[in-house]
Structure 1
Amino acid sequence: MKEYKVILYQEGALSSLLLGAANADPLKFSTFLNRYAAQGWRVVTMEKDIRRLYLFWRREAYLVVMEREHDNIKSNFF
């Protein structure tokens, strides 16, 4: 059985306000992904999105779908 998690990663609002736009920092994003990988999560897919901040500024965001093996999930969906 697999367990899934959807995570939104986005840069902080301060860099958007100061610079006009915030792009994802590769080092911070790598650290973010490695933290989840250490817990057994694997990236299935990700989507890049440009989000508006207070109408004038923009910042990059990533929607990350992760999965990992999980044997103790009980099916209570039906």
Structure 2
Amino acid sequence: MYKEYKVEIVTEGGCGTLLLGSSGLPIKRLESRLNEAASEGWQMVFQVIEQKRFWLFWTRETVILTLGR
């Protein structure tokens, strides 16, 4: 059982979505956030990838991480 939870949100860049129609999730930023949280004693409990509308025609992905300790 975890006594404390924290939610982190990582979203793909807007410029790549506008210019290319789609861009990948920022893996390095996601990795650095997870490593930083792990060094503070957090563990990843749950992860969801969500597609959100971006402006009128585009969508972009967002990773929602639930961390616990």
Output the TM-score relative to the length of structure 2: 0.83
How many Å apart are 1:18 and its aligned residue? 1.4
Equivalent residues of 2:42, 2:68 under 8 A apart: yes
Which segments of 5 or more consecutive residues in structure 2 lack a partner in the other structure? none
RMSD over equivalenced CA pairs, Å: 1.5
1:15-53 alpha-carbon deviations (Å, 9 max, x no partner): 111111122132232112111111111100001111111
> Structure 1 CA distance, aligned partners of 2:28 and 2:18?
21
Could you tell me which residue of structure 1 aligns to residue 31 of structure 2? 30
Q: How many residues align?
A: 68
Larger radius of gyration: 1
Output the TM-score relative to the length of structure 1: 0.75
